[in-house]
Structure 1
Amino acid sequence: MLASSGAKLLGKLQCGSTSAAQLERKGTVSYQALYRVWRPQTFSTVVGQDAITQTLKNAVVSGQTSHAYLFTGPRGTGKTSVAKILAKALNCLHLVDGEPDNTCAICTAINNGSQPDVIEIDAASNNGVDEIREIRDKAKYAPTEARVKVYIIDEVHMLSTGAFNALLKTLEEPPAHVVFILATTEPNKIPATIISRTQRFDFRRITSADIEGHLAEILADKSITYDDKALAVIARAADGGMRDALSILDQVLSFGDNHVTEQNARDVTGSVTTADLGGYLKAVHGGDVAAGLATIDRILSAGRDAARLIEDLISYARDLLVYQAAPKLVDAADMALLDDGFAALATALPASWLYQVVDLLNGTQQQLRATNQPDLYLQVATVRLAELANQPVVQTQTPTATADNAEVAQLKAQLAQLQAQVNGLAERPAAAAPTSAGTAVRRAPRQRQASGKPKVNTAAIYPILQHATRDDLNALQDVWPDVLNRLSDIKHSMMNVSEPVAASKEGVIVSFDNDFYIERVLGDATLLQEMRDGLKAMTGRDEKVVLVEKAQWPRVRQNFIKEVGFTRTPKDTPAAEPQAIEATPAADKAPTSTPDQPAPAAPATTDDGVVKELTNLFGSENVDVKND
């Protein structure tokens, strides 16, 4: 009897275990998410990355695979899936045209995660030097079952600097039986030395059309009905990531009882209908603030996310702008979501106002990240948008661009003023040259003495020239660009036509191409002070600045040379050359002689002394000696 009871109990246990196994196979006990069930297992089933998969498949067929790969791109675009497919293709026992068969022992083990020669590592939790050193040490050993040992390092940008350095040598000279596949969403954080030792493949965002097509295939396989607009809503919310799209579809299926509708998709994603978006923009542009605020309140009361609402508004405004410029460029998936009044609204709303809508909503989007009351910012944005519609539309620019445009406009006005000044000077008749016999014939043919021009301040220039040296001028010319660089852009452009021509401890003399600039500089006390401050910073002295017109400067020098001989006393003259700089005009002092006594010859040192004095004053390269 005991044996009979034990047999019955054993039968019940066996029956119970069988039922549990059957339930597990039916999926009632353990459910796998769609992105796991529909993960691609061959290159041909990867969606939206045809160029990458074809390149890798051809490399496998031809045997020209690399020792290291770098897969970069947004999340959910297939980086890790392609890495596993490549690992299977490198080791598959029955490879067919570069595709793994997924039936051999190697492929099955890789799919199950039990293949010891294909190691997948999460760099986010294994980012230290010790972990990478362990990989480097184990990589030296040959694979136990597969042909090639494959290391898949996901989120590789999370490795520390020391870990990257430990990995570098292995990537540079790896064993022949090892292949590294690095995957990351942030390639900018990976050292260039690592990138240069890999073959890089950039995974692009998957288009909405490709996502919709793949979702339709999945729903058809599961015999689930759906609305076309529902798939468009899911594809837009996924933002180019297939994994996100499959996760959203999972939620919609659970929410909608095995039927995918547009309303269910919007409820899950928090999206707003295009009819609501169009009605909101139309009301705000028409100045109906109450209707706009009511729309915002109704959408948020329905549980929609404020940040998502702003994203939808920006996308809708973008679609309007694109449709206005080139209707054919609007994506077909986006067109499927648009309401019947979209075309009419695109005609009614001006592009200039839509630009302002995008700018203002973008700023509001930044503000929402730091607040717990997003509805307040949305209400303020609604009022501001209505005010913009009632104001004259101006092109929105950044403060920097506005300042630059203002400076450009000011410079253009100055240029036009200068051009008018030059034209007036060109048309002005030349002053009649004096014809007296005592006038030197070598005088400049035209000397302008307009009443409006600033007069040459010889009282300030001569003391500077009295002690000017070439060394002081060279030192000033060396620091002059630095002095100008301290000025603002407009003042710097005005001073670009200036040039220092003389310098001493008494001050500096600066020449300008035109007297117009001298008037502008003399009338700008701030500019003069900035110049003095710059000179003091560069030279250590509080320099006096004297301005002179470039055309007048040679005459000023000549007058100084002539007059300095009369003003200097013998004690000012160097002892070795007592008569060196004494100059007497020939018309005033003619050499006297008698028949018995020849005229006294000029001292031999006179000409040489004058030349030496001029050379010391203006530099040898600026002095040209000619014998009459």
Structure 2
Amino acid sequence: MRIVTFTKRGAKMGYQALYRVWRPQRFEDLVGQQMITQTLKNAISTGQTSHAYLFTGPRGTGKTSAAKIFAKALNCHHQQNGEPCNECEICRAITEGRLNDVIEIDAASNNSVDEVRDIRDKVKYAPTQADYKVYIIDEVHMLSGGAFNALLKTLEEPPENVVFILATTEPHKIPATIISRTQRFDFRRIDMRDIYERMEYILKQKNLKYEEPALKVIAKAASGGMRDALSILDQVLSFGGGEATLQNALLVTGSVTQEKLKNYLQKIFAQQTAQALDELRLILEEGKDANRFIEDVIDYYRNLLIFKTAPEMLAKEELSEDVKSLAENASTKVLYEAIDILNQQQQNMRFSTHTDVYLEVLTIKLTQLKSLDSEPVTTEAGQTIKKLQEQLQSLQQQFEKFKSAADSRKDENTQNKISTKNKVQHRNVPKVDLKKVYPVLTNATRDSLVQLKSIWGDLMTMLSVTQRAMMNITQPVAASESGVIVSFKYDFLCKKAMSDEELIDALNNGLERLVGGKMTLVFITQTQWPEMRKKYLVEHKDELENGKEEKKDAVRSQKDAVVTEAEKMFGKDVVEVKED
């Protein structure tokens, strides 16, 4: 006998994680990315959208959510001010992931050349339901080199009704040729306060109890990622039976209570090594995470240092009496050294399975820190200082004797140094190819130079951050219709740029898009440019003068023609010629 069961429509579904239930469905729901969301909304509402976008930033900051919202708003016929309505059939289909015209691709598992070629072939077909086909490629940096090359042509000349949105956490792994063909948006880490307010809003909507310190612990542990914060909150609620308490948040995140941290640091500052190690043992026995513990200690030292130097920067809730008392009894020098030791030990712990050993060594090092100005000067120390002063005086006398002898050789040494320095500088000056410079100068015009200078800022925005830093102090100094000479302020940057193929490729692609044709790039230093221009004028003096005479003859013949025509029309007696 066969038994058939039916699921009642509207029956209760399985539990969904908070970050899935509360995933943003409108641009205004995205937390901490106001500049990006406003730019995208304006582009949609004014119809000035691009064919390709690059969303970069840490995990859990809203890149994929923004891509889906953009896809909805782009295809929604009822969008208002760039926001999707989320009620029409298109919006609902995209939200539920059942619209064939919005294709999500995980590049981590679909990174071969064949899969990208398949996209390239299918992109030619028109969308079936929506106005635009939107390809969302997540973790795009995982594509292979061949796959990027296959994608390049499609990004360069896509069909009118296709939009690509590339998302990645590691933009430095993406070729410059890909980046230059997209509009880039950098998603930043979300502020702790914004994360806290979002979690508070969600808990109030669900009518769940919570303690404010618990949400602060979670927001801090999330390290700027909203998805991580909601995942931790989910764990805390599950552990606490639907209630978010401070104790449960500390247990889930592996953080340390302020009371235990205060006891540990009081032993540190009192230089009680054995007692500090006992406090550390008690903390670790409770199962606290070693990496989270060292981050809590760093944060505590940071509060102490800021309180001593700029107390107004600390929030009121951070100004506890414990912080004040410890800060008053600690020198700034000790706090600086302690933070350096903590950072170094934190780096060492990343590659070790014996983190407890590193924490014990760290504790001993911190207890042994002592400010020099707090050490009393004993009688024995005073005698030692006196002897050192006498030795210093004797050495100064000997120095004066040697100085008079050294002055006689000073001029000779100075000349040698200047000669050596000139040779080194000459070696560092990059060589300029005259075969490229002279053709640009021969055809150079002021109009071409003015055009290049007007688009130079737009060209810089197409480069990566590193490339912009290298080209930030450059400017075009001469230009023709097919070439441009770029002047560098520093010789070493010019030399480095000459050998940077990715930079040259990005500049060529950018210029081709902005001026509509290929241009020859010539790099030259700021000191080389006047010499090179003078040399060109001397070597081509006759050609330039002939060119001027030819222009004068042309103007003169043009004037003669005008006079002849005037005499025909009005008669020679009436026409009078006056020279300019």
Please report the TM-score for the alignment, with normalisation by the length of structure 2: 0.64
Structure 1 residue aligned with 2:95, among 102, 111, 115? 111
Name which one, 1 or 2, has greater alpha-carbon Rg: 1
Residue identity matched to 1:92 = C
Name the CA distance, whole Å, in 2 between partners of 1:478 and 1:233. Answer: 60
Shift of 1:113: 0.7
Cα distance, 1:340 vs. partner?
3.8
Is residue 362 of structure 2 the alignment partner of residue 381 of structure 1?
A: yes
1:287 maps to which of 264, 271, 283: 271
In the alignment, what sits opposite 1:253? 237
Q: In the TM superposition, what is the alpha-carbon distance from 1:337 to its structure 2 partner?
A: 5.9
CA spacing shift, 1:66–1:149, aligned 2, 3 Å: same
Deviations 1:126-146 (A, max 9, x none): 111111111111111111110
Does the alignment pair 1:301 with 2:285?
A: yes
- Deviation of residue 226 (structure 1)? 1.1
Which digits, 9 at most, give the CA deviation of each residue in 1:2-42, with x for residues without a partner?
A: xxxx9xx99xx77x744xx56x42x4xx1100000000000
- Note the alpha carbon deviations across 1:538-570, whole angstroms, 9 max, x for none: xxxxxxxxxxxxxxxxxxxxxxxxxxxxxxxxx
Distance 1:114-1:387 versus aligned 2 partners, 3 A rule: same
Matched, 1:77 2:61: yes
**Contact in 2 for aligned 1:233/1:337 (Cα 8 Å):** no
Counterparts of 1:302 and 1:337, CA distance in 2: 25
Q: Structure 1's 367 and 105: CA in aligned 2 closer, same or farther, altered over 3 A?
A: same
Corresponding letter in the other structure for 1:369: R
Distance 1:393 1:130 in 2: 70
Alignment match, 2:48: 64
For residues 245 and 140 of structure 1, the distance between their equivalents in structure 2, rounded to whole angstroms, comes to: 41
Cα deviation for residue 390 of structure 1 reads 6.9
- Is residue 221 of structure 2 the alignment partner of residue 240 of structure 1? no
Is the CA contact (8 Å cut-off) linking 1:71 and 1:184 kept in structure 2? Answer: yes
Q: In the alignment, is residue 168 of structure 1 matched against residue 155 of structure 2?
A: no
Structure 1 partner of 2:71: 87
Q: 2:229 and 2:301 mapped to 1: Cα distance?
A: 24
Match of 1:314 in 2: 298
Tell me which residue corresponds to 1:205: 189
In 2, Cα distance between equivalents of 1:256 and 1:342? 30
Relative to structure 1, is the Cα distance of residues 173 and 420 closer, same or farther in structure 2, using a 3 angstrom cutoff? same
Shift of 1:338: 6.4
3-state SS, counterpart of residue 137 of structure 2 = strand
CA contact (8 A) 1:287 1:390 kept: no
The CA distance in 2 between the partners of 1:86 and 1:356, in whole Å, is: 48
Q: Give the match's secondary structure for 1:389.
A: coil
Classify 1:258/1:339 alpha carbon distance in 2 versus 1 (closer, same or farther; 3 Å).
farther
Query: Which stretches in structure 1 are left out of the alignment for 5+ residues?
Result: 1-5, 395-412, 426-451, 455-476, 486-628
Q: Which amino acid aligns with 2:155?
A: L
Distance change >3 Å, CA 369–CA 393, structure 1 → 2: farther
What aligned pairs does 1:318-467 form with structure 2 within 5 A after superposition? 318-330=302-314, 332=315, 336=317, 339-389=320-370, 421=404
| Residue type at the aligned position of 1:384 | K
Call closer, same or farther: CA 1:17–1:116 in 2, change over 3 Å.
closer
Corresponding residue for residue 263 of structure 1: 247
CA deviations over 1:481-521 (Å, ceiling 9, x no partner): 58xx9xxxxxxxxxxxxxxxxxxxxxxxxxxxxxxxxxxxx
Superposition RMSD in Å: 3.1
Q: Distance in 2 between matches of 1:178 and 1:347?
A: 63
Instruction: Kindly indicate whether residue 118 of structure 2 is the aligned counterpart of residue 134 of structure 1.
Output: yes
Identity value in percent: 56
Q: Do the aligned partners of 1:274 and 1:338 also contact (CA within 8 Å) in 2?
A: no
Cα distance between partner residues in 2 of 1:207 and 1:115: 34
Match of 1:388, SS? Answer: coil
Distance in 2 between residues matched to 1:138 and 1:269, nearest whole Å:
46
Counterparts of 1:154 and 1:421 in 2: how far apart (Å)? 72
When residues 392 and 113 of structure 1 are mapped into structure 2, their CA distance, relative to the original with a 3 A threshold, is: same
- What residue number does 1:222 align with? 206
Counterpart of 1:614 in structure 2 is none
Task: Determine the C-alpha separation between the residues in 1 that align with 2:73 and 2:402.
Answer: 74
1:144 aligns to what SS in structure 2? coil
Asked if 1:144 is matched to 2:128, the reply is yes
* 1:278 equivalenced with 2:262 (yes/no): yes
- In 2, Cα distance between equivalents of 1:103 and 1:32: 22
**TM superposition shift of 1:217:** 0.4
Q: Take 1:418 and 1:268, find their aligned partners in 2: how far apart are those partners?
A: 71
C-alpha separation in 1, matches of 2:39 and 2:146: 33
* Paired AA for residue 358 in structure 1: I
CA contact (8 A) 1:128 1:159 kept: yes
**Counterpart amino acid of residue 345 in structure 2:** T
Does the C-alpha gap of structure 1 residues 215 and 172 become closer, same or farther in structure 2, counting only changes over 3 Å? same
One-letter code aligned to 2:404 = Q
Point out where structure 2 has 5 or more consecutive residues left out of the alignment.
376-395, 411-418, 428-580
- Number of equivalent positions: 398
Higher RCO by CA contacts (8 Å cutoff, separation 6 or greater) = 2
Asked if the contact 2:334/2:371 (under 8 Å) is kept, the reply is no
Compute the displacement of 1:300 (Å): 0.4
Q: Which residue matches 1:544? A: none
Distance in 2 separating the partners of 1:118 and 1:191: 25
Q: What is the CA distance between 1:182 and its match in structure 2?
A: 0.6
42 and 421 in structure 1: CA distance in 2 versus 1, 3 angstrom threshold: same
Question: 2-side partners of 1:350 and 1:361: how far apart?
Answer: 17
Equivalent residues of 2:139, 2:168 under 8 A apart? yes
Deviations 1:46-105 (A, max 9, x none): 111111101100110000011111111111000000000000001012112211111111
Residues in 1 aligned to 2:274 and 2:320: alpha-carbon distance in whole angstroms:
23
The whole-number CA distance in structure 2 between the counterparts of 1:180 and 1:354 is 49
Q: Deviations over 1:364-397 (max 9, x none)?
A: 2222233332212211211121112276799xxx
